Amino acid sequence: MVESRPRVWVSQPLFDDVVARLGEYFEVVSTRDVTEYSPAQIAEALSRADGALVTLNERIGSDQIAGAPRLRAIANVGVGYNNLDIPALARAGIVATNTPEVLTETTADFGFALMMAAARRITEAERWLREGQWRQWSFQAMLGADLHGSTLGILGMGRIGQGIARRASGFDMKVLYHNRSRLPEAVEQETRASYVGFDELLAQADHLVLVLPYSKDNHHVIDARALAKMKSTATLVNIARGGIVDEDALADALASGRLGAAGLDVFEGEPAINPRLLALANVVLTPHIASGSLATRRAMVALAVDNLIAAMGQGPDAGRPPNPVSA
Ligand code: DGY
């Protein structure tokens, strides 16, 4: 009798040649098209799976795993894993993994780019030019805020935050950060970053970049109160998760001149965008692409594949996935 192989579900198209390695160990069920699943469709796919490779689009909690008795491992292709209910998975004995490190530098590059684009009004100026509004060179057109010599604030000083801090030294910026816990002195020296309290970070930053992981404790941590503490000329950049910022409060601040500009790569209801943000000129909006270089996205998938193979007890690291996550 031929023994059937464990079955894994790959929820989205993710570089066929990278994902192909799963075929050495498992029966692979995948899709050719980018797919928007309902919660019930996710439950249905998981009910027949022993393992899954998923993206931040797939929200998986107790309802999705209730009918999945065989499911042993879920490998998330992303460093953030707020799409997974980790306590519910742990209670069911399902191992979850993520993809840290491989995306650090690419994401830090993009955070910096978004900050520059927002502060120097790059997309706004381009739209204006394409609309044929540029009639004559003008000394006072599209004036923005400098990065060089300014104060950069970083909220969330993990690997990506540290990457942004290192880039800032090339722009001669003063770097302040706030984090759940203060970093070791050696890291502060290497990144040339100084720890400050949350309110001081808000008050001092000319440009504030959000890089903290999302949890219900920091939901809307940037709200009207926080925005009111920022400089009216400041730039706010969010490359973390949309739920960290109260988007209505941000739209109020940007529209009223209480805040200079914003660069947002993530949104609370993405891919739906708050229409008030869409209507504003002083915000740069990008579709959650901070880790989106070709090389990095391929490396993320390769790492997620390693994690899934190991978490399912196969391959050279059987039983020891490189990146397990806990609550
Ligand atoms: C992540 O890895 O969490 C990004 O947001 C998606 O690439």
CATH number of the domain that 80 lies in?
3.40.50.720
Atom of ligand 1 nearest to the CA of 103: 2
Atom of ligand 1 nearest to the CA of 56: 6
Q: Considering only CA atoms, which residue is closest to atom 2 of ligand 1?
A: 78
Domain count, the chain: 2
Q: What is the pLDDT of residue 16?
A: 96
The question of whether 178 is a catalytic residue gets the answer: no
Q: Catalytic residue, from 72, 178, 241, 297: name it.
A: 241
Q: Considering only CA atoms, which residue is closest to atom 4 of ligand 1?
A: 78
- The rounded Å distance from CA 103 to ligand 1 centre is 8
Q: What is the pLDDT of residues 64-84, one digit of tens each?
A: 999 999 999 999 999 999 999
Residue 165's nearest CA partner among 119, 108, 113 is 108
- Pair 172, 96 in one domain: no
The binding-site residues of ligand 1, defined as CB within 6 angstroms of any ligand atom, are: 56, 78-80, 103, 291
Q: What is the pLDDT of residue 68?
A: 98
Q: What is the pLDDT of residue 326?
A: 83
- The rounded Å distance from CA 25 to ligand 1 centre is 27
Q: Which domain holds residue 58?
A: 7-102+294-311
Let me know if residue 327 belongs to a domain: no
Q: What is the pLDDT of residue 3?
A: 67
Let me know if residue 90 belongs to a domain: yes
Atom of ligand 1 nearest to the CA of 292: 7
Atom of ligand 1 nearest to the CA of 239: 5
Q: Considering only CA atoms, which residue is closest to atom 3 of ligand 1?
A: 80
Atom of ligand 1 nearest to the CA of 240: 5
Mutate to test the pocket of ligand 1, among 58, 105, 107, 214 (most ligand atoms within 8 A of CB): 107
- Pair 80, 188 in one domain: no
Write down which residue in 268, 285, 302 finishes a domain: 285
Q: What is the pLDDT of residue 1?
A: 56
Let me know if residue 69 belongs to a domain: yes
Q: Catalytic residue, from 21, 166, 219, 288: name it.
A: 288
Let me know if residue 31 belongs to a domain: yes
Q: What is the pLDDT of residue 2?
A: 60
Q: What is the pLDDT of residue 252?
A: 98
* Average of per-residue pLDDT across 214-235: 97
First CA to last CA across the chain, in angstroms? 41
Q: What is the pLDDT of residues 176-209, one digit of tens each?
A: 999 999 999 999 999 999 999 999 999 999 999 9
- Pair 64, 115 in one domain: no
- Pair 263, 131 in one domain: yes
* Average of per-residue pLDDT across 160-172: 98
Q: Is the pLDDT of residue 168 over 80?
A: yes
- Pair 77, 135 in one domain: no
Let me know if residue 93 belongs to a domain: yes
- Pair 139, 252 in one domain: yes
Let me know if residue 316 belongs to a domain: no
- Pair 16, 137 in one domain: no
- The rounded Å distance from CA 79 to ligand 1 centre is 5
Q: What is the pLDDT of residue 31?
A: 95
Q: What is the pLDDT of residue 39?
A: 98
The question of whether 166 is a catalytic residue gets the answer: no
- Pair 181, 236 in one domain: yes
- Pair 163, 264 in one domain: yes
Task: Tell me the average pLDDT of the chain.
Answer: 97
Q: Are 250 and 275 in contact (CB under 8 A)?
A: no
Let me know if residue 318 belongs to a domain: no
Q: Is the pLDDT of residue 317 over 80?
A: yes
Q: Is the pLDDT of residue 274 over 90?
A: yes
Cα separation of 306 and 252, whole Å? 45
3-state secondary structure labels for all residues of the chain = CCCCCCEEEECCCCCHHHHHHHHHCCEEECCCCCCCCCHHHHHHHHHCCCEEEECCCCCECHHHHCCCCCCCEEEECCCCCCCECHHHHHHCCCEEECCCCCCHHHHHHHHHHHHHHHHCCHHHHHHHHHCCCCCCCCCCCCCCCCCCCCEEEEECCCHHHHHHHHHHHHHCCEEEEECCCCCCHHHHHHHCEEECCHHHHHHHCCEEEECCCCCHHHCCCECHHHHHCCCCCCEEEECCCHHHECHHHHHHHHHHCCCCEEEECCCCCCCCCCHHHHCCCCEEECCCCCCCCHHHHHHHHHHHHHHHHHHCCCCCCCCCCCCECCC
Q: What is the pLDDT of residues 13-52, one digit of tens each?
A: 999 999 999 999 999 999 999 999 999 999 999 999 999 9
- The rounded Å distance from CA 132 to ligand 1 centre is 36
Q: What is the pLDDT of residue 37?
A: 98
Q: Catalytic residue, from 270, 276, 298, 320: name it.
A: 270
- The rounded Å distance from CA 122 to ligand 1 centre is 24
Q: Is the pTM of this model over 0.85?
A: yes
- The rounded Å distance from CA 80 to ligand 1 centre is 5
- Pair 95, 17 in one domain: yes
Residue 43's nearest CA partner among 52, 55, 30, 34 is 52
Q: Is the pLDDT of residue 139 over 70?
A: yes
Let me know if residue 126 belongs to a domain: yes
pLDDT grade, residue 292 (50/70/90)? Answer: very high
- Pair 177, 265 in one domain: yes
- Pair 117, 258 in one domain: yes
Q: Is the pLDDT of residue 327 over 80?
A: no
- The rounded Å distance from CA 296 to ligand 1 centre is 11
The question of whether 200 is a catalytic residue gets the answer: no
